[in-house]
Structure 1
Amino acid sequence: MKTGHRHAGGREAPVFQRAVGILVVAGAPWAAWAQQAAQEPAADAAAPQTATLPAVTVTATRAETATKTDTPLIETPQAISVVTRAQMESQAAQTIDQALRYTSGVAGETRGGSATRQDFRYIRGFGPFGTNYLDGMKQPYASFGFFQNEPYFVDRIEVLKGPSSVLYGQNSPGGLINVISKRPTLEPQHEVFVAGGSFGRIETGIDLSGPLDADGKFSYRFTAVGHTGETAVDHTRSERIAVAPALTWRPDGATALTLYAQYLRDPQSGHFGYVPAQGTFLNNPNGRISRHFFDGEPGFNHDSKTQTAVGYELDHRFDSGWRLQQSLRYARLDSDLALAYGTGFAPDLRTLNRAAFTDRDKIDAWTFDNRFEKTFNTGALHHAVLVGLDYQHTESDARWLFGSAPSIDAYAPVYGQAIAAPSMPLLDQKQKLSQTGLYLQDQIRFDRWVMLAGLRRDFADNDTRNRSLNTSTTVRDEATTGRLGLLYRFDSGISPYVNYSTSFLPTTGADWQGTPFKPTTGKQWEAGVKYQPGDARSFVTASVFHLVQDNVQTPDPDATHGIFAQVQSGRARARGLELEGHADLGRHLSLIGSYTYLDSKVVRSNGPDLDKRPVSVPRQTASLWFDYRFYDQPWAGVGLSAGVRYIGASYADVANTQRVPGFTVADAGISYTTGGYRLALNVANLFDRKAVVCSNGYNACNYIQPRTVTASLRYIW
């Protein structure tokens, strides 16, 4: 028998430690070359050495997600947030969720600080599934299998708020998060870095890009990263190795073809269990549960994932003025999860009851987007017309098995108890999902007016085979969605706007008569003001919105139809205010501020959630971040950064009887830049706040990320 103590388990830990070591060795020649180059005499030896890296730039002025065209944010009549690469590095974000901490309207990390295998995010109160996109194409999910994005491969993150089906098809009404990948550059740029920090985490990566020939017809990018280490929870690790090569061919000035691939392997993905509310933020006579407590079994729990992707992006401008953009991606995911996890305390409030669960997920997904764009004038009107066709096809295989597990003392855990392989099937199915969409969009400019109009028609099929019941069902849905927005751009940099947009999202299941459920539908009115001064180094958005989702499933009021029967008479509503600002004040100071007020609740229901707020979604959030860099002696090259985040109170249950208190967290960092070197020290949760989030009742809570220190050294040339 093993008594509880800090121990890092992991079946593949030695292998991945060696893999990360290989990455370090691979980067060593580059680092040695960089050191030699740094020691060579400068062109002007008498000139004082100063920092040469650019200032942190947190302000973006353009984005493609809202319109699938290169449109200025100030001319887009819909709320959109952009997280730049510089912001991610300044804040030392280790996950996409962490990169979104200072973004309005987004509630992330709803499973705590150690559960990094899935991204449970809510946008404007809706989610947490169906919001993830990569390079403008949806990343599917099945059961507990989720595609994830490696932050080091990301150029920027664009968050589009509100219904977005007009360009993307079936979608959560709250919006979407579009991760934009790094791509080959025409200018040479190279980086190598190594980082280490709390819980024994070691990380290293390399990012190389530039032309392959003198004419610039071929350019490349090769990015690789790996990390290994424990998490804050005993007996758990977080490990990853990932590579992303890309090659761009430009045969002429009108054509660019990019081929890319990605491989990501997570042999361990952190902690995915629970602790009860009693002993965390609620009183327990036995005291506080340790943040290091592991509710599973080291010999049973495991969590691994492998995902691969290959694809291309084609951009061609015809002599006629039409522009073709085409994207194709094939992606595959294989996920293996086994958990012994806590289900709640026994009456003594120290013996934790447990259950066992296993899940295997496999996903094969094809996504294709083909669109034509042309600009032209009709009298005084300037048009930018977009015509597109996209297609998605996903095949998934998922199997859940449940079983029993022996209890454990949460205050003096003893590990090594035998757990039988779970054998009770809860989900055992194969699914084929297909969607074909045709869309048309016109951006019309008249003097200082900008109108954005779009219309889309979708055809979606869902074929499900339930192996447990030996049944098959086929559901075919059609939907028409649209968007209409209007904006006026003043000389002062102020642009007020208003828009109306709709969405749809297919659902599974049927009513008591066997009639398949219709897709849920979303509709939103939004009004706001955007401000961008003439120097374009600041950007502020204020928006108010009223968002409704219909056809939500709710219990059937007729008891004769069965205890589990449901109908589609439910409605969810969200309305609120979002404020967000980014400013680069000279090259010294960068600021980010955000505030969200969200009045979100279920307004039609036959269940206990009527007039109640959704689980895990706070009513208010706010954040402020600053980054200051010195460029004059004697502090030249020094950078200071700090931030504070407030996450308001939420509820752990649909009836809103279990309240989870809000909390405030501070982050900080210091860096020194000289030549191409940058040495940085970042601390997340600076004051080690022991706050808790709950996602499925008081028996399903998790601590937020504890104080985490990360030191990094990178060289850019």
Structure 2
Amino acid sequence: MFRSFRSVFKFALLAASALSLPAFAQDAVGEKKDDDGNGRKDEAIVVYGSGIDRNTAATGLDLTPRETPQSITIITREQIDDQAASTVADVLEYTTGLSVKRVDRGRNLLSARGFDITNFQLDGLPFATGNVGLEETSTAIYDRIEVIRGATGLLQGAGEPSASINMVRKRADARVLTGEARLEAGSWDHIAGMIDIGAPLTADGSVRARFVAEAYSQDAFVDLESSNGFTLYGVIGADLGPGTRLSAGASYQRDERDGVMWAQLPYWYADGSRPGWSRSRTTGAEWNEWDTTEMSAFVSLEQDLGGSWQLRGDVSYFEQTEDSKLIWLWGNPDRETGLGMDVWPYWYLSKPKQWSANLQVKGDYQLFGRSHQLVFGAMYSHQKGGWTNRDPDPATVAPVGDFNTWDGSYPEPVWGERYRMSGFGTTEQTAIYGVTRFQILDPLKLIAGGRLSRWTRDEEEALYTPEAYRIEHKNIFTPYAGLILDFTDYLSAYASYTSIFNPQTARDRDGHYLDPLEGDNYEAGLKADLMNGRLRASAAVFRIEQSNFAVPDIDPETGDPYYVPGTTDIASRPAQGVVSKGYELEMQGEPLRGWDISVGWSHFKAKDPDGIDVQAHQPRRVFRMATKYEFGGALGGFSLGGSLRWESRPPQTAENPATGEIEPVGQKAYALVNLMGAYDLTDALSLQVNVNNIFDKSYYNTNSWFGGFIYGEPRNVRITLRYGF
């Protein structure tokens, strides 16, 4: 049925692209791409990160990036399209300060500044990411992506002091019929189509609608793998009366992935030598499946209260179903016989659900003869999760045999009954928060605020949790402070302290749960708006300190451990955790007429109390760049660009199975170069070609939780035909 739908959808796209309607080329629906007569875009058009005047992702206040006392990167719709980025993860791979590594061929692990990224927002509302994370969602439904680096507990609540990723969905703002149709074809039988239509539903445009649909099908450079899927998104915007605005929408994304590689390729043969696996090598079986479905819905209501004051209420829902039937291979095979690998099948099913609500009031107030801004509100989130499994009948689990000749033709076992495995429970957060921007002097501003949270976790009985339990933390205070000094109208310095908390399940010798981990982010830097705001530059230094880290509680006199009362579990005590420090440099915008650029450099060190590197699989020094130049004159309508990613060798080591020696296994420093070229065939129709990894660099792109590696993608090509109307 799905394949039939896809065929119909592709036909509809072809038909739409053939229509000869009056049109402007579009950067996004409702965003006209006009020119100056020489084929170059007007200054009002959004360029790489420099056209988004204000955002609220860091504090809730309406701030420009220069007024935000934290490192912030904004990836616009234009940049997403130029990179032909299909998923959010594709976008983040070229974002300053972020590292994106594969756990396997089904999941990614994101990190920044030495900590995992678990903090996501949808239109500013916090959502927890799942086993297959929110970074795997399609970019088709998003207008832009905002990344705030450092601790973001003021609006996020619980999480890691790494970064927060805010995905801003497209809105229904078109008051005339407008839209875009796109067709793609590329390497590994990639084919995709997308249509994005906005239109008024009433004659005066007071009610508007927008609809986005996307479908794709492709194989992979890894043997056996193939996938197909589709995304649907609809939103309605309405002006209900003077100063009253409503936005409501929903999305649905389905991805079906077959033959997916779950386990990683081993670093060594049994004799300690390094195998030269081909990039197409797999540890998967022909019957492997990894299917996901994401559904979301939201309602947002804004009401002007008079003057500058505004009331806003948001309710949002997200649900994911993940059904993965896979095999795990591990071990070190014999070089000659290929024997020595073990296997275990696994059939995982998870259906996490999340609600989030926010009620917020913001506006200006007068004090001491100056105007200041204030935001205060209340937030609630509810998460329900857990997963089940079906174990195979051990008698039907076949041996791996010769891994040197493995081709995935491995027999599927007989599966047992499904049972609760782990993680069944409900997590709730309730919070009130407030923040103000106080104009101390004309050039000096203070941003100060805090959040008071209540966090509870009710865990139900499952295999990994044989007894139900409840963790509750009340009155958790999360402060926020930032000082911004304007040297000129375009240059500012800032210093900030931000924090976040993360509950933990470790218990002390009295049986009490330890206080949550605390991540404190200290940051200072310079920010500049150059060329009338067309170019933004920033430099930042940071230090993150983690406290309340759980360590074993040992009697210093006897050397014996204390135990949690009534259990055989060793008790824990809080200690200093990871300390991360480093710096970041970034520039985004249009330094010359027609030339867009986003470039960034990041460097950090992160060690635990024993001086051991954490997140050892992540590179410490990373350079990112994306750029495009639009020609004018005789070459008007032609643009050329690309992107570059350079990463240093991470300090990752592993034990050689033959010698027992600890050896470096991290990917050596490497660079990836991507190119793109586009040409406007008409005012409405354009053709774009992207060539990724143009020098066909072979490299690891692995999280390496499990002592192995996964290759990054070889050279590949994508051709996009885009029609705007």
Deviations 1:454-480 (A, max 9, x none): 111000110001223642100001310
Shift of 1:679: 0.4
Partner of 2:316: 329
One of 259, 262, 265 as aligned partner of 2:251: 262
Cα displacement (A) at 1:264: 0.9
Alpha-carbon separation, structure 1, partners of 2:414 and 2:523:
51
Label 1:375 to 1:67 Cα distance change in 2 as closer, same or farther (>3 A): same
Residue from 453, 474, 494 that aligns with 2:470: 474
For residues 134 and 49 of structure 1, do their structure 2 counterparts lie closer, same or farther at Cα, with a shift above 3 Å needed? same
Residues 1:289 and 2:296 are matched in the alignment: no
Q: Which residue number in structure 1 is paired with residue 230 of structure 2?
A: 241
1:5 aligns with: none
The answer on whether the counterparts of 1:589 and 1:628 sit within 8 Å (CA) in structure 2 is yes
Distance 1:459 1:659, change over 3 A: same
Q: Which moved more, 1:341-350 or 1:151-160?
A: 341-350
Q: 1:426 to 1:342 in 2, by over 3 A?
A: farther
How many angstroms does 1:278 deviate by? 3.4
1:210-225 equivalences in 2 (<5 Å):
210-225=199-214
Which of 53, 58, 73 is matched with 1:81 structurally? 73
Quick one: which of 379, 394, 416 aligns to 2:383? 394
The residue type paired with residue 342 of structure 1 is: L
Tell me the equivalent position of 1:416: 409
Q: Which residue of 1 aligns with 2:195?
A: 206
Distance 1:97 1:625 in 2: 15
In 2, Cα distance between the equivalents of 1:144 and 1:569?
31
1:172 positional shift: 1.3
Structure 1 position 185, deviation (Å): 1.1
Specify the SS of the correspondent of 2:14: helix
Looking at structure 2, the residues matched to 516 and 486 of structure 1 have their Cα atoms a distance apart, in angstroms, of 36
Matching residue within 141, 149, 154 for 1:153: 141
Q: TM-score, normalised by structure 1?
A: 0.89
Which of 586, 589, 594 does residue 588 from structure 1 map onto?
Answer: 594
Aligned to 2:291: 304
Corresponding residue of 2:557:
none
Whether contact under 8 Å (2:87, 2:136) holds in the other structure is: no
**1:619 alignment counterpart:** 620
Counterpart selection for 2:672 from 665, 680, 688? 665
CA distance in 2, matches of 1:182, 1:75: 25
8 Å CA contact retained: 2:352, 2:384: yes
Task: Identify the residue that residue 97 of structure 1 maps to in structure 2.
Answer: 89
For structure 2, the 5+ residue unaligned runs are 25-34, 555-559, 656-661
Say yes or no: does 1:707 pair with 2:702: no
Show the counterpart of 1:67. Answer: 59
Structure 1 residues 39-54: aligned runs within 5 Å: 51=39
Give, in whole Å, the separation in 2 of the partners of 1:644 and 1:486.
34
RMSD, aligned CA: 2.7
Q: Which amino acid aligns with 2:92?
A: L
Instruction: State the distance in 1 between where 2:590 and 2:46 align.
Output: 8
Q: TM-score scaled by structure 2? A: 0.88
Structure 1: any 5+ residue segments left out of the alignment? 1-14, 39-46, 605-609
In structure 2, distance between residues paired with 1:421 and 1:580: 54
Partner of residue 431, structure 1? 425
Q: What are the residue-to-residue correspondences of 1:480-495 with 2, within 5 Å?
A: 480-491=477-488, 493-495=490-492
Residues 658 and 697 in structure 1, CA contact (< 8 A), matched pair in contact too: no
Pick from 279, 294, 304: which aligns with 1:317?
304
Q: Secondary structure, in 3 states, of the residue corresponding to 2:101?
A: coil
Is the contact between residue 615 and residue 654 of structure 1 (CA under 8 Å) also seen in structure 2? no
Residue 406 of structure 1 corresponds to which residue in structure 2? 399
Go from structure 1 to structure 2 and tell me whether the alpha carbon gap of 1:52 and 1:207 turns closer, same or farther (over 3 Å shift): farther
Q: Deviations over 1:101-147 (max 9, x none)?
A: 232211113437xx3x434110211114x222211122224556768
Match of 2:526, as an amino acid? V
1:508-555 deviation digits (Å, cap 9, x = unpaired): 343566432321111111000001125110001100001011122344
Q: 2 CA distance for matches of 1:80 and 1:398?
A: 35
8 A contact 1:142–1:396 mirrored in 2: no
With over 3 angstroms needed to count, the CA separation of the structure-2 counterparts of 1:654 and 1:164, relative to structure 1, is farther
2:162 counterpart residue number: 174
The amino acid of 2:582's aligned partner reads G
Contact 2:231 2:251 in 1 (8 A): yes
Give the secondary structure class of the aligned counterpart of 1:103.
coil
> Aligned partners of 2:652, 2:324: CA distance in 1, in Å?
24
Query: How far is 1:96 from its partner?
Result: 1.0
Q: Deviations over 1:302-321 (max 9, x none)?
A: 11111211220111111264
Shift of residue 427 of structure 1?
A: 3.2
What's 1:163 paired with? Answer: 151
Count of residue correspondences: 680
Match of 2:267 among 271, 277, 282: 277
The answer on whether the counterparts of 1:289 and 1:411 sit within 8 Å (CA) in structure 2 is no
Asked if the contact 1:59–1:584 (Cα under 8 Å) also holds between the matched residues in 2, the reply is no
What is the rounded CA distance, in whole Å, between the counterparts of 1:402 and 1:141 in structure 2?
A: 26
TM-fit CA distance, 1:378? 1.1
Are 1:346 and 2:343 an aligned pair?
A: no
2:505 match: secondary structure: coil
* 2:14 paired residue number: 28
Shift, 1:585, TM fit = 3.0
SS at match of 1:450: strand
Q: What letter is aligned with 2:315? A: L
Say which of 588, 609, 616 aligns to 1:603.
Answer: 609
2:363 counterpart of 1:385: no
Give the CA deviation at 1:413.
1.7
What is the match of residue 9 of structure 1? Answer: none
**Counterpart code for 1:372:** V
| Cα distance, 1:580 vs structure 2 | 0.7
8 Å CA contact 2:291–2:324 kept in 1: the answer is yes
Structure 1 position 453, deviation (Å): 0.6
% of aligned pairs identical?
23
Structure 2 Cα separation of the partners of residues 702 and 524 of structure 1: 33
TM-aligned CA deviation for residue 32 of structure 1? 2.3
Task: Choose which of 513, 516, 519 in structure 2 pairs with 1:516.
Answer: 513
3-state secondary structure, aligned to 2:609: strand
Pick closer, same or farther for the CA change 1:406–1:126 going to 2, 3 Å: same
Q: Separation in 2 of the partners of 1:652 and 1:410?
A: 26
Distance 1:486 1:570, change over 3 A: closer
Q: 1:657 to 1:254 in 2, by over 3 A?
A: farther
Pick from 455, 462, 481: which aligns with 1:460?
455
User: CA–CA distance in 1 between the matches of 2:709 and 2:7?
Assistant: 35
TM-superposed CA distance for 1:408, in Å, is 5.1
SS in structure 2 of the partner of residue 19 of structure 1: helix
Deviation, 1:73, is 1.1
Q: Which amino acid aligns with 1:191?
A: E
Structure-2 change in CA distance of 1:197 and 1:511 (3 Å): farther
Deviates further, 156-165 or 504-513: 504-513
SS of 2:633's partner is: coil
Give the Cα–Cα distance (whole angstroms) in 2 for the partners of residues 35 and 320 of structure 1.
43
Distance in 2 between residues matched to 1:421 and 1:181, nearest whole Å: 43
**Matches of 1:318 and 1:598 in 2, distance apart?**
45
Judge conservation of contact 2:696–2:714 (CA < 8 Å) in 1: yes
